[in-house]
Amino acid sequence: MKVVVTGAAGFLGSRVADELLSNGLGNKKVTELILTDIHAPPARQDPRVKVLALNLAEPSAADKLIDEKCGAVFHLAAVVSGQAEADFDFGMKANLDATRSLLEAVRHKSPTAKFVFASSVAVFGGDFPPVIDDLTCVMPQTSYGTAKAMCELLVNDYARRGFADGRSVRLPTVSVRAGVANAAVTSFASGIIREPLNGKESICPVKEDQEIWLTSPVTVVKNIVHAAVVDAKLLGKWRSINLPGLCASVGDMVSALRSVAGDDVASLIRFEYDAFIAKIVASLPIKIDNSHALKLGFSVDPDFSAIIRSYIKYDLKK
Amino acid sequence: MKVVVTGAAGFLGSRVADELLSNGLGNKKVTELILTDIHAPPARQDPRVKVLALNLAEPSAADKLIDEKCGAVFHLAAVVSGQAEADFDFGMKANLDATRSLLEAVRHKSPTAKFVFASSVAVFGGDFPPVIDDLTCVMPQTSYGTAKAMCELLVNDYARRGFADGRSVRLPTVSVRAGVANAAVTSFASGIIREPLNGKESICPVKEDQEIWLTSPVTVVKNIVHAAVVDAKLLGKWRSINLPGLCASVGDMVSALRSVAGDDVASLIRFEYDAFIAKIVASLPIKIDNSHALKLGFSVDPDFSAIIRSYIKYDLKK
């Protein structure tokens, strides 16, 4: 099967590529893998891989990417929340228009292709119940969440009409991301664990009692790939899935770091309140009912200590 | 105040114009009223009125329509449900892109203007609870409902960012519309009352037990105008409002017609099942909790017999 991954130079995109190359897609082997991003992703030794630099906000880009042989698209490219909030036009172009162009290309060239769209829990916001489920209304309080919610509607309608076999997965905040901080307002949720484990100080812009809905990279990558495998019949009339996650407060995260790595490491976290970030983070959901996603075969992390240990095992000092 | 009405040649648009000219907007007088549609709306004697033919799907149209003096926009222009389902591209252009262009023009020229967007209960669909409320998730099962739901998200984000003082009103099915049938899948909900009262046979494409969520033209026009007057603070974090309506089955509607106008009139309805129409109508919501909208000062019709009498009084043989 020929597969396309956008945002493939990014943290999650490159790992989705690894997973596809190692384990295929369900019972299908990946025979051709196109990895694209605004700058070409690093070349790989694997002869199945082609890398491609493309600005998906250009109207012609999607046409260059999708062809008749395309069996699955993992659309992970996005402008992150902080940047989309700071630059509305840029965010809408990258997060809404680019997704629409990709869906159009799939519709006209390979309408049976699986189209996995990386959405976000940021579609929720404002007034929501203590525990969110599949029937909780979206009410985004960021332009990032707004564009994601708009794309979910498109993905669902394209699926309903047979234009693309779309599936939107709402990603929890991913922690611990390897690498460096980014412009996501939730970047600190990785930074407060990653930097101290690397002997560096890290600033936490929210208060200790702020709760966050979290997933590890390993689990979310497995879940993103699984989204292309789920039987369409099980998805019913709505193609958006809340990926499983777990709820932890910043205080819980710090305690977990202390128990796994010791006091000296945990003491490298410094609290410096940032009202802009704190307000957006406070608008995000903190508890979602995992039962539907687990029934569909998605996975969940056991607890945040396990997430830290997984980072230490796979990513620390790589 | 300068006010713009799109879709102003249409049934609701022309009545919203009447209402604005007669009663103003809250405690403000309308001093200039721009009425636009794809064909120029009929000229009026009133010196405050300018009529304008504009294709809002053209990128430059919104800029011609909105200027710095604009105090309110009533955006009623749309491609109706049946047509948007038959021609996806045309529907998205008219229902999504045109709204986005208008919002952009307001953002750059008159960001404090009220922007009243005519949405629809067709944003609901698929799995919904027996009674819908403000926190029920949207899950449209038509491309019309999809575009409307996408626009609601934009309207909300433009309002949140201070780009436009947006308010989306979800219209129940309007009955009894005067005039002739249109391509809306719910067109019959007017036809089965209007045609018999005018001595003509009318075909009902759904079964007698199909329930519908209804409003009269008089009430919905008052409510659309009221949407621009509601205090923004009362709207909270979500700018979409389910306009009040009442639930009646087709059987109830026929009985009401029989009681108001007699057996001979009611016997002009012929049932001829149409699976395409019936499926879409069955996906629409039939009961919505009116309490929030009533608290915000919107109105509701007492019952369907009153709606028929209102049609007879104001519209029959005009």
Provide the ipTM. 0.94
> What is the structure's pLDDT at A318?
56
Q: Do A237 and B140 touch (CB under 8 A)?
A: no
Residue B109: pLDDT band (50, 70, 90) is: very high
pLDDT of residue B152: 98
pLDDT range class, residue B280, cuts 50, 70, 90? confident
Contacting residues of B for A127, CB less than 8 Å apart: 135, 236-238
* pLDDT one-digit tens code per residue, B217-268: 999 999 999 999 999 999 999 999 999 999 999 999 999 999 999 999 999 9
User: Which amino acid is present at B201?
Assistant: E
Which CATH class, in words, describes the domain spanning A2-172+216-242? alpha beta
Q: What is the structure's pLDDT at A288?
A: 95
3-state secondary structure at position B223: helix
The answer to whether the CB atoms of B137 and A136 lie below 8 A apart is: yes
* pLDDT given for residue A237 in this prediction: 92
C-alpha distance from A143 to closest chain B C-alpha (Å): 6
Residue range B42-65, pLDDT digits in tens: 999 999 999 999 999 998 999 999
* B127 contact residues in A (CB cutoff 8 A): 135, 236-238
Q: Is the pLDDT of residue B299 over 80?
A: yes
Please state, rounded to an integer, the average pLDDT across all residues of chain A.
95
A302 vs B: CB within 8 A: no
Helices (H) and strands (E) in chain B, counts: 14, 12
* A137 interaction partners in chain B (CB closer than 8 Å): 134-138
| CA–CA separation, A17 and A30 (whole Å) | 10
Q: Does residue B118 carry a pLDDT above 90?
A: yes
Whole-number Å distance between alpha carbons of A237 and B302: 34
Q: Is B161 on the interface with A (CB under 8 A)?
A: yes
Judged by CB atoms within 8 Å, which residues 49-78 of B form the interface with A? none
Interface A-B, measured as beta-carbon pairs within 8 A, has a size of 74
Residue B4 CA to residue B27 CA, distance in Å, equals 17
* Size of chain A in residues: 318
Q: What's the mean pLDDT in A188-199?
A: 96
Q: Which residues of A touch B111 (CB under 8 A)?
A: none
DSSP 8-state assignment for residue A288: B
Q: Which of A103-107, B13-17, B82-86 has the lowest mean pLDDT?
A: B82-86
Indicate the pLDDT class of residue A220, thresholds 50, 70 and 90.
very high
Contact A187, A263 (CB under 8 A): no
Q: Judged by CB atoms within 8 Å, which residues 119-138 of A form the interface with B? A: 125-129, 134-138
Q: How many Å apart are CA B16 and CA A108, to the nearest integer?
A: 40
**Percent of chain B scored above 90 by pLDDT?**
91
> Alpha helices of chain B — where are they, by DSSP H?
11-23, 61-65, 81-86, 88-92, 98-109, 143-161, 188-197, 217-227, 232-235, 250-261, 263-266, 275-282, 291-295, 304-314
Residue closest to B175 by CA, chosen among B211, B145, B143, B141: B211
**Section B285-305 average pLDDT:** 96
What is the dotted CATH code of the domain comprising A188-213+246-314? 3.90.25.10
Distance in Å, alpha carbon of B149 to nearest chain A alpha carbon? 8
**Domain parsing of chain B, residue ranges:** 2-171+216-242, 188-213+246-314
- Output the pLDDT for position A249: 97
CATH code for the domain defined by B2-171+216-242? 3.40.50.720
* pLDDT for residue B107: 98
Q: How confident is the model at residue A180 (pLDDT cuts 50, 70, 90)?
A: confident
What is the mean pLDDT of the segment spanning A250-260?
97
Would you place residue A81 in the very low, low, confident or very high pLDDT band (cuts 50, 70, 90)? Answer: confident
Cα nearest neighbour of A86 on chain B: B161
